[in-house]
Amino acid sequence: MWLRKERRGAAPLTRERIVAEAVALLDEEGVGRLTMRRLAERLGTGSTTLYWHVDTKDDVVDLALDAIFGEVPVPPVSDDWRGEVTGLLHGWRGAMLRHPWSARVLGRPLLGPNVLARTEFLHAALVRAGFAGPALVAAAYALSNFVIGSALMEAGAAEETAERRAADDLLARHRAEYPTLAAHGHPSGNDWNDAFARGLDYLLDGMRP
Amino acid sequence: MWLRKERRGAAPLTRERIVAEAVALLDEEGVGRLTMRRLAERLGTGSTTLYWHVDTKDDVVDLALDAIFGEVPVPPVSDDWRGEVTGLLHGWRGAMLRHPWSARVLGRPLLGPNVLARTEFLHAALVRAGFAGPALVAAAYALSNFVIGSALMEAGAAEETAERRAADDLLARHRAEYPTLAAHGHPSGNDWNDAFARGLDYLLDGMRP
DNA sequence: CGCCTCCTCGTACGCTGTTCGAGTCACTGG
DNA sequence: CCAGTGACTCGAACAGCGTACGAGGAGGCG
C-alpha cells in the first residue's frame, strides 16, 4: 500500500497532535466550540478515534491547559528572587491572555508537568527568599491566586466590546447607586497591564519571610 | 376553578423562584447537572416554560451567581477601612466556598446588582482610605482578583478527596523533579483559611494610597 | 499462513439547549 | 354577557453533544 508510508509519515495520530490541534481550535473558536467531532474533523479522523488516545473530553482540555503553560518561560536562577517571581508571573499572565479560553477552564486541579514545574520554581524562589512553613504556602498561593484571578477577570472583560459597551451604559444609568464605580470607570487597554504590575508590587511589598 | 387560588398562591412561576431553585440544584448536584429540564422538573413545570421568564440558560447561571453574592454581608461604614475591606472579602470568599459551583462559573462579566453593590462598597472604602486614580483601580482589582483566585483554587482542590489522594501520590512519585513542592505539600483543612488571611494581609500591608 | 496487538471508525444511545406553534386562562372594553 | 387580548404554559421536534460498542484493517511474528 502506498498509503502506508504516507499515513505513517504525514498523519500518525498521537496525543501530541490531538492536543496541539485542540489548542489551535480553542484559540480560534473558543471553549464553547471545542467538540470531539470538530476536533477529529480538523485532524482528518473519525471522532471516536480520539477515544483511543484519550479517555475523555476533559482530558483533552486538561492536556491543552498544561500545554499552554509550557509557553511560560522559567527565568534563570539569580540572586534576585523578586525579579524571578515577577518575571515568571508576567509570563504566566501573558500565556493566559494569549489563550483566553484557559481562564474559563480553570478550577480543575492543575497537575500537569508544565504547571508543576513552574509551581516548583515559584516555591523554590520563595524558599530562597527565606519563606518557610505557613508563610511559604500563603505567599505562593497569594501570588498564583492573584495571577489567576487577574487573568480570569481580564479575559472575561476583553471578550466582547459590545458587552462592555452595554456594561458602561448600565453603569451610567445607575450612576446614583454606584457613584464611586461610575466615577472611575472600568479599566481598558493598557490600564490592565498597569493594574496588574501595581497589584503584584503591592503583594510583593507586603510579603515578609 | 378551585385550582385558581392554589395555582396563584402556591406556584406562581417567577424569575425569583427559578433562580432560587437553580441555586438549590447547583448546591446539591453541581454545575454539571444543572439542566433546564431538571430545573423545570423541580419546579413542577415543563422545561420550555422557563424560556418565557428567561432568555437562555446562561441567564439562569448569571442570576444564580449574583444571587449568592447577595449573601455577602456589607460591613457598616466605620473609620477602619482596612477592617471593612477584610470583612467584606472574607464574606465574599465564604459565599463562594458555600457554593463551590460559583468558582467554575466565573469569568463572564459580573454585572448583577448584588455584585455591583459590593464592588461599589470596596471602591468607596478604598477611596476613603485615600486611593485615587490608577492606584485605586489597581488596589481594587488586586483585592478582588486575589479573592476570586483563592476561591477558585480552593473550591477546585476541595472537590474530590480521591483526586487529592491521587495528586499526592503523583507528587510523591516525582519527588525528585519537584523537591520543594513535595517537601511542603498541599494545604489542607484550616491551612486554607490561614493562607487566605495571611495573603490578604500581605496585600493590604503592601498597599499604599 | 494465522494470530495478536495496535489502531480506526460507523452506528447508536441518551441527553442537551432551544424554537415553534398550539393551547389555557384571567381579565378588560364594549 | 361576551369577544378579544395579553400573559403564560407546554408537547413535539431539531440539531448537536459526549461517549460505548463492536466490527474491522494493517503490520509484525510465529
**Residue A5: its pLDDT value, please?**
40
Q: Residues A145-183: pLDDT tens digits?
A: 999 999 999 988 877 677 778 888 888 899 999 999 988
Question: Which neighbouring-strand residues pair with A108?
Answer: A106
Q: Which residues of A touch B177 (CB under 8 A)?
A: 116-117, 120
Is the CB of B145 less than 8 angstroms away from the CB of A149?
A: yes
Task: Give mean pLDDT, residues A7-27.
Answer: 84
Tell me whether B13 touches chain A (CB under 8 Å): no
Task: Outline where chain B has alpha helix (H).
Answer: 2-10, 15-29, 36-43, 50-53, 57-69, 81-98, 101-105, 113-128, 133-158, 161-173, 179-184, 190-206
* Number of neighbours of residue B114 by Cβ within 10 angstroms: 18
Q: Are A84 and A75 in contact (CB under 8 A)?
A: yes
- The answer to whether strand D lies under 7 Å from the CB of residue B17 is no
Give the model's pLDDT for residue B11: 63
CB of B178 within 8 Å of any CB in chain A? yes
Mean pLDDT of B146-171: 84
Q: What is the mean pLDDT of chain A?
A: 90
Q: What is the mean pLDDT of residues A170-197?
A: 87
Q: Name A87's Cβ contacts closer than 8 Å, sequence gap at least 6.
A: A73, A75
Residue of B14, B1, B5, B75 lying closest to B43 (CA atoms):
B14
- pLDDT for residue B157 is more than 90: no
Is the pTM higher than 0.85? The answer reads yes
Residues 117-156 of A with CB under 8 A from B: 117, 119-120, 123-124, 127, 134-139, 141-142, 144-150, 152-153, 155-156
pLDDT at B136 over 70: yes
Q: A84-96: per-residue pLDDT in tens?
A: 999 999 999 999 9
* Interval A98-121: pLDDT, tens: 999 999 999 888 899 999 999 999
How far is it, in rounded angstroms, from Cα A60 to Cα A24?
A: 12
CA-to-CA distance for B121 and B111, rounded, in angstroms? Answer: 14
Contact A203 B203 (CB under 8 A): yes
* C-alpha grid cell, residue B72: 455577602
B133/A172 Cα distance (integer angstroms):
19
Measure the CA angle with vertex B139, ends B193 and A178; round to 5°.
100
- Exposure string of A54-83, with b = 16+ CB inside 10 Å and e = fewer, is beeeebbbbbbbbbbbeebeebeeeeebee
In chain A, the residue whose alpha carbon lies closest to the alpha carbon of B117 is A178
Mutant choice from A146, A168, A171, A204 vs B, greatest count of B C-beta within 10 A: A146
Query: Which residue type is seen at A186?
Result: H
How far is it, in rounded angstroms, from Cα B185 to Cα B139?
A: 30
